[in-house]
Amino acid sequence: MSGTEIYCPRCRRKPRPEDRWVCTRKIGGCGHSWDTFSTRGICPRCNWHWIITSCHTCRRFSPHEDWYHEPERLPRETATAGSSDELE
Protein backbone atom coordinates (compact mmCIF):
# COMPACT_ATOMS: atom_id res chain seq x y z
CA MET A 1 0.00 0.00 0.00
CA SER A 2 1.28 3.45 -0.87
CA GLY A 3 1.99 6.06 1.76
CA THR A 4 0.63 9.47 2.55
CA GLU A 5 0.26 11.88 -0.37
CA ILE A 6 1.15 15.53 0.13
CA TYR A 7 -0.66 18.18 -1.87
CA CYS A 8 -2.34 21.56 -1.45
CA PRO A 9 -5.85 21.07 -0.08
CA ARG A 10 -7.05 24.01 -2.19
CA CYS A 11 -5.52 23.51 -5.67
CA ARG A 12 -4.08 19.98 -5.28
CA ARG A 13 -0.54 21.00 -6.32
CA LYS A 14 2.08 18.54 -5.11
CA PRO A 15 5.22 20.15 -3.68
CA ARG A 16 8.51 19.16 -5.28
CA PRO A 17 11.48 18.04 -3.16
CA GLU A 18 13.40 21.16 -4.21
CA ASP A 19 10.61 23.55 -3.11
CA ARG A 20 11.47 25.65 -0.08
CA TRP A 21 9.47 27.58 2.52
CA VAL A 22 10.87 30.29 4.78
CA CYS A 23 10.52 30.44 8.54
CA THR A 24 9.56 34.09 8.28
CA ARG A 25 10.95 36.56 10.79
CA LYS A 26 7.80 38.69 10.47
CA ILE A 27 5.95 36.46 12.92
CA GLY A 28 8.74 35.14 15.10
CA GLY A 29 10.61 32.72 12.84
CA CYS A 30 14.34 32.59 12.20
CA GLY A 31 14.58 33.15 8.42
CA HIS A 32 15.68 29.58 7.63
CA SER A 33 14.66 28.08 4.27
CA TRP A 34 13.79 24.36 4.04
CA ASP A 35 11.32 21.77 2.74
CA THR A 36 8.54 22.13 5.31
CA PHE A 37 7.12 18.70 4.48
CA SER A 38 10.37 16.95 5.38
CA THR A 39 9.80 17.97 9.01
CA ARG A 40 5.99 18.13 9.07
CA GLY A 41 6.07 21.90 9.46
CA ILE A 42 8.75 22.25 12.14
CA CYS A 43 11.68 24.52 11.34
CA PRO A 44 14.89 22.50 11.78
CA ARG A 45 16.82 25.58 12.93
CA CYS A 46 14.55 27.15 15.57
CA ASN A 47 11.88 24.45 16.10
CA TRP A 48 9.04 26.86 15.29
CA HIS A 49 5.98 24.72 14.51
CA TRP A 50 4.14 26.09 11.50
CA ILE A 51 0.42 25.41 11.72
CA ILE A 52 -0.28 27.03 8.34
CA THR A 53 1.47 26.59 5.00
CA SER A 54 1.16 28.60 1.81
CA CYS A 55 0.97 27.01 -1.62
CA HIS A 56 3.56 28.11 -4.18
CA THR A 57 0.93 27.84 -6.94
CA CYS A 58 -2.37 29.23 -5.63
CA ARG A 59 -0.69 31.39 -2.94
CA ARG A 60 -3.36 30.52 -0.40
CA PHE A 61 -2.76 29.41 3.17
CA SER A 62 -4.11 26.16 4.61
CA PRO A 63 -3.57 24.36 7.90
CA HIS A 64 -0.33 22.44 7.51
CA GLU A 65 -1.91 19.11 8.51
CA ASP A 66 -4.51 19.49 5.74
CA TRP A 67 -1.73 18.93 3.17
CA TYR A 68 -1.36 15.27 4.20
CA HIS A 69 -3.78 12.89 2.51
CA GLU A 70 -4.05 9.22 3.37
CA PRO A 71 -4.82 6.86 0.49
CA GLU A 72 -8.38 5.65 0.37
CA ARG A 73 -8.81 2.14 1.62
CA LEU A 74 -11.00 -0.28 -0.24
CA PRO A 75 -13.50 -2.23 1.85
CA ARG A 76 -12.46 -5.75 2.72
CA GLU A 77 -13.86 -8.41 0.45
CA THR A 78 -17.09 -9.82 1.76
CA ALA A 79 -17.56 -13.54 2.14
CA THR A 80 -19.52 -15.14 -0.66
CA ALA A 81 -22.69 -17.10 0.04
CA GLY A 82 -21.95 -20.64 1.05
CA SER A 83 -18.33 -19.86 1.94
CA SER A 84 -16.84 -21.52 5.00
CA ASP A 85 -15.65 -18.04 6.06
CA GLU A 86 -19.20 -16.67 6.12
CA LEU A 87 -20.14 -14.89 9.32
CA GLU A 88 -23.35 -15.80 11.10
pLDDT in tens, 4-19: 999 999 999 999 999 9
Residue 78, domain member (yes or no): no
pTM of the entire predicted model: 0.76
What domain range is 33 assigned to? 5-69
Domain count along the chain:
1
The pLDDT score that the predictor gives to residue 2 is: 59
- What integer best gives the mean pLDDT of the chain? 87
Within-domain flag for 85:
no
Measured CA angle at 13 (ends 29, 20), to 5 deg: 30
CA distances from 26 to 8, 23, 70 (A): 23, 9, 33
86 band by pLDDT with thresholds 50, 70 and 90: very low
Residue 86 located in a structural domain: no
